[in-house]
Each structure stands twice: as structure tokens, then as C-alpha cells.
Amino acid sequence: MPFSLDCCGGLNNVDYSKVDLLAMSLLSDYMDVTDPNFIMAVLCIAFNPLFWNLVARWEHTTRSLTRIFRSPYTACYFLGVVIILLNFLRSHCFGEAMKSQPKLPQLDCLLVYYASVTLMAVGVLLVTSSFLALGFIGTFLGDYFGILMEAKVTSFPFNVIDNPMYWGSTFIYFGWSLMNASPVGLVLTVVVALCYTTALLYEGPFTEEIYRNKALKCK
């Protein structure tokens, strides 16, 4: 039987003045989205994956960096260093945003601290092991420079989680935010996860297409 609101007079009888605005109040008390530090952190978080995807695709299409540096390896190392510096800038802006806004007292406890340390340790493990499995060239988009791997890496951590570099980084930011009892840090961590998810929608299929073309040429 279809549900009906007629017995209650429909939604017209709902007193919207009684709606609990506690969540909104907490958000406004502990986070200021107009804070320049917060805005800068969001811009850095969004810019980084956009930058390396655009530059890598530009290189794949034009080989411009390879011509400038006269070697795809040197060009890839150059882009990798730029990405690392941008990630340092992102982390700096992330930290400044947390410093400039209030802490949430409920998160400032020993249990949350242990959880934050665990998350950061898992994140560092995923990032480090991913880097060791792929190497510098593999980590920093070497396939866009025409430097292709012989086979897909399936060893740890890729046999545990897809895209461990991205999610390991997200875990680190999550743990760092909890360690600082920072609501704004948690919000920025969500922004990091959303930006990585969006980047993967473009990176994954494009990278697969590169290796698909390689396989066709080898036949």
C-alpha cells in the first residue's frame, strides 16, 4: 500500500522551526570556509592532480618535455621533482589551515591519537611500498613519456588495494587531521579523496589505453 501523509495533514503540519541545527552550528563554530588558509589549501589540493594530468597528457601528445630535455627519462624526472615540490606545498597549506582554525575537543583524546598514528603508519606503508614497487619513473607517470613497464605490477601493495599511492596519501592526511583534532583537516581530507577519485576516472582509462596500444604494436 502506498504511504500517505494525509493522516498528518501532509508536510504542511511540519514545524520547520523545530529542526535541529546543531550540526550546522558545530560546523560554523569550528570551520571558517572564508579563511584564506582554507581556501589556499583547497586550491592546492585541487590543482595538483589537475596539473600533473594535464602536463602528462600534453607530453604524451606532443613529446614537448622530451624535446626540451632531450631525453624522456630526464623529462620524467623533472616532472616528478615538480610534483614532489607541489605536494610539499599542498601539505604546508593543509597544515596552515589546521593551525588557523579551532580544534574539536571531542577528538583531542588518547584513543583518537592512537587511531591517527595507525592511519598515518598505514598510509606511509602504502606510499613507500608503492614507490618501491614502481620506482621513480613508474610512480611519476613514466608511461606518459613512452617509458612503459614490461608488465603490470601485482606485488604488495597492489595485491591489497588499487592505487595505493593515492589512498595511502589520503590515509596520512586523515590521520594527521585526527592527530590535530581538526575539523577543517577532516573536511580537507574529504577534498583530497574527491580530487583523487576524480583524477582516477581520467588516469585509469588513459593509462590502460597506452598499454593496449603497446600490446597491439607488439603483435
The set of residues, in sequence order, having a beta carbon less than 8 Å from that of 147 and lying 6+ positions away, is 72, 73, 76, 137
Is 121 marked within a binding site?
Answer: yes
Is 204 marked within a binding site?
Answer: yes
DSSP strands (E only) in 62-208: none
| Helix locations, 100-163, DSSP H | 110-139
C-alpha–C-alpha distance, residues 94 and 185, integer Å = 7
C-alpha–C-alpha distance, residues 163 and 161, integer Å = 6
Burial of 86 (0-12, 13-18, 19+ CB in 10 A): middle
Is 199 marked within a binding site?
Answer: no
C-alpha–C-alpha distance, residues 42 and 68, integer Å = 32
Let me know: does 192 contact 45? Beta carbons within 8 Å.
Answer: yes
**Nearest alpha-carbon partner for 40 in 85, 89, 81, 99:** 89
Let me know: does 186 contact 171? Beta carbons within 8 Å.
Answer: no
Per the annotation, binding residues for S-adenosyl-L-methionine are 121-123, 203-204
Per the annotation, binding residues are 121-123, 203-204
